[in-house]
Amino acid sequence: MPIRQFQAQHMHAPRDFIMIDSAPICVEIGAGKGKHALLFTREHPESKLIAIERTREKFVAMQKQHQLEGQTNLQTVHADALPWIVHALAPQQVQQFFILYPNPEPHNPAQRWLNMPFFEFLLSRLQVGGQITLASNIPEYIAEAEQQLQEIWKLPYVKEVIASDSARTHFEIKYLERGELCQQLLIQKPENYTTRFDDFQALAGVNIPKSDSAQSDA
């Protein structure tokens, strides 16, 4: 399906927005109660992870567990991911994005991540060689995402079946215990890949996207 251009310039900063520094980071979108975020930061003390959650109840649960565990390389954010990412992240700042078991939007396919115009902006924040991990228990969701990667975004990826003993999120545990097929796409940003937002920074004044389409010159 065709993808219209994302209107980043119309995104207002979230309430109580606090700017972050421009150091390389990892970002989890829709972090829920923080199970993966806490696990990742324990296992990768050299990496900083920002975990974003929109739902207040889940965010509070993640925040409380973070206070108990105390990882200094984890920052929790209560916000809608789209405006936060537009205002907080610099071009090519992110080493990894994690989108684990997102809402499949059964009644609104245009809101699935790889169908959204925003996905192009997300790619502009990813470092060359950086990775997006997209996991789902819905085969049709993964199949559609693969098609979009091939036809629209022109990005290399690897598809993996998630091991039955994996336990990164509460959803993942539940789905695997029910015997469901859980899969993930490991999406990589190659060299010479360009987007219309490569020079866009929301807090730097007026920005003009520099080309007409997302493309790879590789």
Across 192-196, average pLDDT: 95
Give per-residue pLDDT as tens, 41-81.
999 999 999 999 999 999 999 999 999 999 999 999 999 99
Q: How does residue 18 score in pLDDT terms, banded at 50, 70 and 90?
A: confident
Backbone angles phi, psi at 192, to 5 degrees: 70, 15
138-158 pLDDT, tens digit per residue, is: 999 999 999 999 999 999 999
What is the homologous superfamily of the domain 24-204 according to CATH?
Vaccinia Virus protein VP39 (3.40.50.150)
Handedness of CA 177, 26, 34, 17 (dihedral sign): negative
Among the ranges given (14-23, 32-41, 201-210), the one the predictor scored with the smallest mean pLDDT: 201-210
The C-alpha atoms of residue 73 and residue 33 are separated, in whole angstroms, by: 17
pLDDT in the model for residue 217: 38
Mean pLDDT of 161-178: 97
Residues in Cβ contact with 206 at an 8 Å cutoff, skipping those fewer than 6 apart: 9
Compute CA distances 84 → 14, 20, 28, 122, 146, whole Å.
6, 11, 12, 11, 26
* Cβ(214)–Cβ(208) below 8 Å: no
Per-residue pLDDT for 15 more than 80? no
**Of 168, 151, 149, the residue nearest 159 (C-alpha):** 149
Binned at pLDDT 50, 70 and 90, residue 3 comes out as confident
When pLDDT is cut at 50, 70 and 90, the band that residue 2 belongs to is low
Quote the pLDDT of residue 203: 62
pLDDT value of residue 204:
43
As a whole number, mean pLDDT of residues 112-137 equals 97
- For the chain, the domains span 24-204
